[in-house]
Amino acid sequence: MKRLVLCIVLGAFVAAPAAADFVMHTANTLTGNQAWSSVGLTFDVNPGPGINVLALGVYDSGQDGIGGGATLSTVIFDSAHTPLIQMDFWANSPGTLAGAYLFKPLQTPLLLAPGQYSIVAYGFHLGGNNEYNSNYTHTGGPTFDNSGLIGFVDSVWGNGTDMPATWPVRSGATSPYGVEDYFDGPNMRFEAVPLPGAVLLGLLGLSAAGWKLRRSA
């Protein structure tokens, strides 16, 4: 009987399904058309448990890797415009291609609590490299995530030659183009912060086990 109870408890701890992960952007074009460093967007993490950022990505025009000498970077900022994390991509460390984006995993997931953040990509055509982001204003930009965990707020962009982690000074809210999701540039993979379902199941299992043991004592 005690072995059976132990199996029930262990099963309760491992029964919770693994969390699904999502991608912020799906590119609607495979070739970039803009030589501009510092492009991205502001987004909300919706009310709830928050998200874990698992990997950062950057647009790979032509899906041919990153040309020699170029370094592309993706940075996440908090609402105070403070950089939280930066990932760099270059020819010998480009990451893994998925769709039109290269992704590199974070060593430790970045927890983003509900609130507002920005994600920005840098390095396109800096120093004359041949890497381009895409800007398809009014003509079908990237498809934004539909997980319900995050929400698009605004596009942001800098001066075209900004170095990584420089806050972009312009946004769609002050643009004649309006608030649209313009750019294929930065990207991220993320998941919902796992709810303590497995722990709850485990505690219920332990309670049941204790009750069983008391009944059989």
- How many distinct structural domains can be found in the chain? 1
Say if 179 falls within a structural domain.
yes
Q: What is the 3-state secondary structure (H, E, C) of the chain?
A: CHHHHHHHHHHHHHCCCCCCEEECEECCCCCCCECCEEEEEEEEECCCCCEEEEEEEEECHHHCCCCCCCEEEEEEECCCCCEEEEEEEECCECCEEECCEEEEEEEEEEEECCEEEEEEEECCCHHHCCCCEEECCCCCCCEECCCCCEEEEEEEEEEEECCCCCCCCEEHHHCCCCCCCCEECEEEEEEECCCCHHHHHHHHHHHHHHHHHHHHC
* pLDDT, tens digit, 9 for 90 and up, residues 23-35: 999 998 899 999 9
Say if 152 falls within a structural domain.
yes
Domain holding 32: CATH number?
Answer: 2.60.120
pLDDT given for residue 129 in this prediction: 85
Contact in structure between 63 and 131 (CB atoms under 8 Å)? no
Say if 81 falls within a structural domain.
yes
Say if 5 falls within a structural domain.
no
Domain of residue 125: give its range.
Answer: 19-193
Tokens standing for residue 164: 């990584």
Say if 187 falls within a structural domain.
yes
* pLDDT, tens digit, 9 for 90 and up, residues 125-149: 888 788 999 998 766 678 899 899 9
C-alpha torsion 44→28→193→84, nearest 10: -60
Task: Note the residue count of the chain.
Answer: 217
* pLDDT, tens digit, 9 for 90 and up, residues 62-121: 999 998 789 999 999 999 999 999 999 999 999 999 999 999 999 999 999 999 999 999
pLDDT given for residue 67 in this prediction: 87
Predicted structure pTM score: 0.82
Say if 69 falls within a structural domain.
yes
Q: Distance (Å, rounded) from C-alpha 99 to C-alpha 97?
A: 6
Q: Distance (Å, rounded) from C-alpha 77 to C-alpha 166?
A: 10
| Best CA proximity match to 23, nearest among 115, 150, 154 | 150
Say if 11 falls within a structural domain.
no
Say if 156 falls within a structural domain.
yes
